[in-house]
Amino acid sequence: MPVTELKTSVKEAVSTKKTLFNRKHLSLILFVLPAFVFYLIFLFIPTVGAGIYSFTDWNGLNQSYNFVGISNYIEAFQDDKAFRHSFIFTLKYTIFVFIIQNVVALFLALLIESRRKSKGFFRTIFFMPNMISLIISSFMFSFIFTNVFPELSKQAVFSILDQSWIGDPKVSFYSILIVSLWQGIGYMMVIYMAALQGVPKQLKEAAMIDGANIFQRVTHVILPMIMHAITICSFLTLNGAFKVFDVVYALTQGGPGTSTQVMALNIYEEAFSNNFRFGYANAKAMILFLVVLVITLIQVSVLKRKEVEA
């Protein structure tokens, strides 16, 4: 082949490759663009705006406002006892939900995955509560706590149900916990089941042949192989628990008093129910954002490190 023809064919090949490369990138941009626009409008811009207004005394109505520096943050940490209590309550709720939800979901996933039959039936049964809106689930359980349980408690066998499930500060926390776990365990269980299906059967069979019991097989074979699912479920659980709002608002509205008030509900009431202190509420929202961000980054980095080690 002459040199000129060779150069021409090389140029045509390079040109064709560049065209395909540009088309591929254009198609990727077109697919990502709608999600990016929604992210920009409904998440990024409001977050930046909240950060700016957190340094002001804006009331959410007037166009004029004054910059007050970090006084909103100082007030939240030093003078606002209700906000500090809501932070402690949210932290307590998050710890309980994080541990119980992941442990129970993993246990159910292991139990159902070990069955040869009826996997689809049990998967559907446990996942069905997640198909119901959490606010609807909360209203359902509110009816159960206030009407069904008192009737059952009249029977001697169910006397333990004779509790003020919503009105007693010592019990209302567990009422919120029950609803949250009932609604969220099935979703985490499905994620764990999907991960368990990727564990090679040869590894489990080899462990059985070596004489490993069920506990040893789970801890030394199965858990290291599903660390990616543990990372995902831990992230979703922590993120959702810290931002919980609807179940508390529907069940107790933060009561009795403020005994079950979470951070998101405290921020909502500061902005819309008390004195319309939008600037101060934004400062609280930024504190919540930073808390969730820091804890999430620590959790993801630790579990990602565990994935690499596994």
The candidate with the shortest Cα–Cα distance to 93, out of 300, 250, 261, is: 261
Residue 63 covered by a domain: no
Task: Indicate whether 24 and 155 sit together in one domain.
Answer: no
Residue 166 domain-assigned (yes or no): yes
In a domain, 69, yes or no: no
164 phi-psi bin (left φ>0, alpha ψ -120 to 50, beta other)? beta
Per the structure, the count of domains in the chain is 2
Residues 191 and 263 in one domain: yes
- Reply yes or no on whether the pLDDT at 19 is more than 70: no
**Is residue 83 domain-resident?**
yes
Same domain membership, residue 81 and residue 32: no
Assigned domain for 66 exists: no
Per-residue model confidence as pLDDT tens digits over 123-173: 889 999 988 888 889 989 999 888 888 888 777 667 777 788 888 888 899
pLDDT digits (tens, 9 = 90+) for 201-234: 888 888 888 888 888 888 888 888 899 899 999 9
One DSSP character per residue, 89-129 reads HHHHHHHHHHHHHHHHHHHHHHHHHT-SS-HHHHHHHHHGG
Whether residue 267 contacts residue 246, with contact meaning beta carbons closer than 8 Å, is answered with no
Contact call for residues 243 and 268 (beta carbons, < 8 A): no
Residue 65 lies in a domain: no
* pLDDT confidence band for 84 (50 / 70 / 90): very high
Position 21 scores a pLDDT of: 57
pLDDT attached to residue 12: 53
Q: What is the CATH number of the domain that holds 96?
A: 1.10.3720.10
Q: How many residues does the chain have?
A: 310
258 occurs within a structural domain: yes
Q: What is the pLDDT of residues 233-266, one digit of tens each?
A: 999 999 999 999 999 999 998 888 889 999 999 9
Predicted local confidence at residue 256, as pLDDT: 85
- For the segment 5-15, the average pLDDT, to the nearest whole number, is 51
Helix (H, G, I), strand (E, B) or coil at 79: coil
My answer on whether 120 and 227 are in the same domain is yes
pLDDT of residue 135: 87
Indicate the burial class of 126 (C-beta count within 10 angstroms; 0-12, 13-18, 19 or more).
Answer: buried
Range of the structural domain that residue 228 is part of? 76-309
pLDDT digits (tens, 9 = 90+) for 258-289: 899 999 999 999 888 767 889 999 999 999 99
Q: Are residues 251 and 169 in the same domain?
A: yes
Structure tokens belonging to residue 281:
């509420």
- 48 shares its domain with 81: no
pTM of the model: 0.86
